[in-house]
Amino acid sequence: MNLKEFAARIGLSQTTVSRAMSGYPEVRPETRRRVLEAAEKLGYRPNISAQRLATGRAGAIGMVFQGGGRFGPHSSEFMGGLSTRLQEDGIDILVSTVETEAEEAAAYRRLAASKRVDAVVVHTPACADARIALLQTLALPFIVHGRSTAERSFAFLDIDNFGAIETAAGYLADLGHRRIALINGDTTSTYAQDRSSGYRTTLEARGLILDPALVGHGEFTDETGFRLMQAFLALPAPPTAVIAGSMMSALGAMRAIRIAGLAVGADVSLIAHDDVFPYLSPDNLVPSVTTTQSPIRAAGERIGDMVLRLLQGEAPEALQEIWPVDFRIRGSTGPAPA
Amino acid sequence: MNLKEFAARIGLSQTTVSRAMSGYPEVRPETRRRVLEAAEKLGYRPNISAQRLATGRAGAIGMVFQGGGRFGPHSSEFMGGLSTRLQEDGIDILVSTVETEAEEAAAYRRLAASKRVDAVVVHTPACADARIALLQTLALPFIVHGRSTAERSFAFLDIDNFGAIETAAGYLADLGHRRIALINGDTTSTYAQDRSSGYRTTLEARGLILDPALVGHGEFTDETGFRLMQAFLALPAPPTAVIAGSMMSALGAMRAIRIAGLAVGADVSLIAHDDVFPYLSPDNLVPSVTTTQSPIRAAGERIGDMVLRLLQGEAPEALQEIWPVDFRIRGSTGPAPA
């Protein structure tokens, strides 16, 4: 049974049938249900090419990663959330990986030209992000996970990275810590710059000295956390507190503190930013870890929702969210040692 | 410039150009390079629909997940490896998530009918897996990450799960342990059944009693590891050693052992299976953890290679690999307490 026959059989137009089956929400829920039930009953299976022709929709959202190495715990949680929302509407995710920045730009051009996706999700933007600039010139809808300081006439969802570090550093200052270290992420990314600003602003407001030797950058791995923390502890005046950008860096920092014969919480206080990984809970570490917290899976789910609204015609400017970050005090923070 | 003009300009057939640009390896590498360089220079961008028409290829490999909740540390490492290999040939991954088993079957039918992917990768198969039975009836090439006890006329890559647990349990028996517990995965999956066989066979061969109370199943999370280990330790005759199916379950088991006032390695020996997560290394835990080890990222990369060979026409029977598992002795194992 082809589209024409099926549409005639259930008394609807081919366009309505195609739209209902493509998953996009231009069609009333009752109609969609009716079409899907009839398709099930009559054994009608849409020809995707014909459906695309009729709806102009690909039924997929694209994500481009620079290198398979970029797949890590953050990407799986984010994609888990994104796909949870998209699957409700039968929308797939098309994952492209590329080697270089130039190839990433080429991938977006290719996705735009080929109509294999209806929109793309851009992740970890820089302050002036070439991808955003490019996508604004292409006829390919997009949403950004994160922010860019460039002109913001695009859809985005970000967490309040400035506020997260402001809260963490403020809490440590209240506990009497004067030398607070920061293990931050990739310097070019907006999130890392926002965290850096939150750190600097708070330390200045509290009259604490900004020591560049107490700030380190790198990937969110145990290894980087360990290496940076070891360097901090080797300083003539080591820090009494540290803020780690991820649970992974926190694991490495805790290891370095322990190996130095110091106790986390008593000798060195630790606060980590927790993206909420179900298999690595701050409650389960010894000692439990004080965190700023925002589940990246929830962000993925919400971005799935926002991208569907974007495709329904909502203005990008109406699809901009900045989420506050929770603060959870646990066992890894205590008063500064006398 | 369209395909016809571009092909004429560089003096090759439209089919050769399309094949070269689609990334699939029917075309000699020199020809492919020549075509890509010319396209770059002349600014030719292929129309994907036309290209598909010419090559019959979608340029994407599919993966279907049952629920976004299935996205976790294993999936990101595997996809990282898979995409690393596929990106060399410009092939994307199309990720579909579905709610139920019935929907998963429908998704494969839809992918087969719509030609949106050229092949699919099936993960975590059961011993008698309905997905494999279905895919064998559809004209959609597939490769399995894992094994199925069903007829094996399909491509697959698996690790030697039986041998891994045989080695681990044998080593613990050599150390004098008589009560060895097992924290296993989902009971219906082949990998968990293979591990269970390796465990039973080894214990029987060593004349150790099989106590069903010492075997637990569940998801590979810290929480499940913790809960199962607490139950083992509450037994009238608790185990002196435990084998955990993943690094995540091992974290939970270690926590339960510590909370019970026991020392990992001295009071309770622990061996974990490590899929190799860059952010959670067994060397970095305290004590460091003895593991059976096989990097799941490498498996993803190899499956990328195998699926491309499958699409080039290699027989599925020639694309079957079972990888041995490494054994790394570290600080979490010691002689059974007297």
- Predicted confidence (pLDDT) at residue A51 exceeds the cutoff of 70: no
In this prediction, residues A287-292 reach a mean pLDDT of 96
Within chain A, residue ranges assigned H as helices are 3-10, 14-22, 29-42, 48-55, 73-87, 101-114, 130-137, 161-174, 190-205, 222-233, 247-259, 296-311
Tell me what pLDDT residue B51 has.
55
Tell me what pLDDT residue B38 has.
83
Residues of A in contact with B75 (CB under 8 A): 76
In this prediction, residues A88-111 reach a mean pLDDT of 90
- Predicted confidence (pLDDT) at residue B55 exceeds the cutoff of 70: no
CB pairs under 8 A between A and B: 169
- Predicted confidence (pLDDT) at residue A117 exceeds the cutoff of 60: yes
Nearest to B193 by CA among B182, B204, B205, B178: B182
In this prediction, residues B47-65 reach a mean pLDDT of 73
Considering only the beta carbons, identify the residue of B45, B221, B281 that sits closest to A279: B221
In this prediction, residues B46-69 reach a mean pLDDT of 73
- Asked if the Cβ–Cβ distance from A71 to B87 is below 8 Å, we say no
Tell me what pLDDT residue B274 has.
98
Report the alpha-carbon distance of residue B124 to residue B219 in Å, rounded: 13
Report the alpha-carbon distance of residue A7 to residue A15 in Å, rounded: 9
- Predicted confidence (pLDDT) at residue B5 exceeds the cutoff of 90: no
Report the alpha-carbon distance of residue B145 to residue B155 in Å, rounded: 9
**Residues present in chain B in total:** 338
Kindly indicate the confidence band of residue A128, based on its pLDDT and cuts at 50, 70 and 90. confident
The distance from CA A300 to its chain's CA centroid, rounded to whole angstroms, is 7
Q: Choose the weakest-confidence range: A91-95, A273-277, A284-288, A330-334.
A: A284-288
Tell me what pLDDT residue B81 has.
96
The C-alpha of A83 sits at a distance from chain B's nearest C-alpha, in angstroms, of 5
Tell me what pLDDT residue B88 has.
85
Tell me what pLDDT residue A7 has.
83
pLDDT digits (tens, 9 = 90+) for B117-158: 999 999 999 888 899 989 999 989 999 999 987 657 899 999
Give residues with Cβ within 8 angstroms of B138, minimum separation 6.
B108, B109, B112
SS3 of chain B: CCHHHHHHHHCCCHHHHHHHHHCCCCCCHHHHHHHHHHHHHHCCCCCHHHHHHHHCCCCEEEEEEECHHHCCHHHHHHHHHHHHHHHCCCCEEEEEEECCHHHHHHHHHHHHHHCCCCEEEEECCECCCHHHHHHHHCCCCEEEECCCCCCCCCEEEEECHHHHHHHHHHHHHHCCCCCEEEEECCCCEHHHHHHHHHHHHHHHHCCCCCCHHHEEECCCCHHHHHHHHHHHHCCCCCCCEEEECCHHHHHHHHHHHHHCCCCECCCEEEEEEECCECCECHHHCCCCCEEEECCHHHHHHHHHHHHHHHHCCCCHHHCEEEECCEEECCCCCCCCCC
Classify domain A161-293 at the CATH class level. Answer: alpha beta
**B24 phi and psi angles, rounded to 5 deg:** -80, 150
Q: Does the domain made of A60-159+296-323 have the CATH classification 3.40.50.2300?
A: yes
Same fold flag, A60-159+296-323 and A161-293: yes
- Predicted confidence (pLDDT) at residue A173 exceeds the cutoff of 80: yes
Ranges A124-133, A192-201, B141-150, B283-292, most confident: A192-201
Share of chain B above pLDDT 90, in %: 64
- Asked if the Cβ–Cβ distance from A114 to B278 is below 8 Å, we say no
Kindly indicate the confidence band of residue A31, based on its pLDDT and cuts at 50, 70 and 90. confident
Domain limits of chain B? 60-159+296-323, 161-293
Report the alpha-carbon distance of residue B160 to residue B95 in Å, rounded: 27
- Predicted confidence (pLDDT) at residue A239 exceeds the cutoff of 60: yes
Q: Which residue of B has its CA nearest to A49?
A: B114
- Name the more confident of B219 and B44: B219
Whole-number mean pLDDT of chain B?
90
- Asked if the Cβ–Cβ distance from A97 to B110 is below 8 Å, we say no
Report the alpha-carbon distance of residue A97 to residue A63 in Å, rounded: 8
pLDDT digits (tens, 9 = 90+) for B168-214: 999 999 999 999 999 999 888 999 999 999 999 999 999 998 999 99
In this prediction, residues B77-87 reach a mean pLDDT of 93
- Asked if the Cβ–Cβ distance from B92 to A95 is below 8 Å, we say yes
Token pair of B251 as six digits: 């974290």
- Name the more confident of A98 and A202: A202
Whole-number mean pLDDT of chain A?
90
Determine which of A97, A286, A305 to mutate to test the interface with B (most B C-beta atoms within 10 Å).
Answer: A97
- Predicted confidence (pLDDT) at residue A13 exceeds the cutoff of 60: yes
In the block, tokens 């050229």 appear at B118
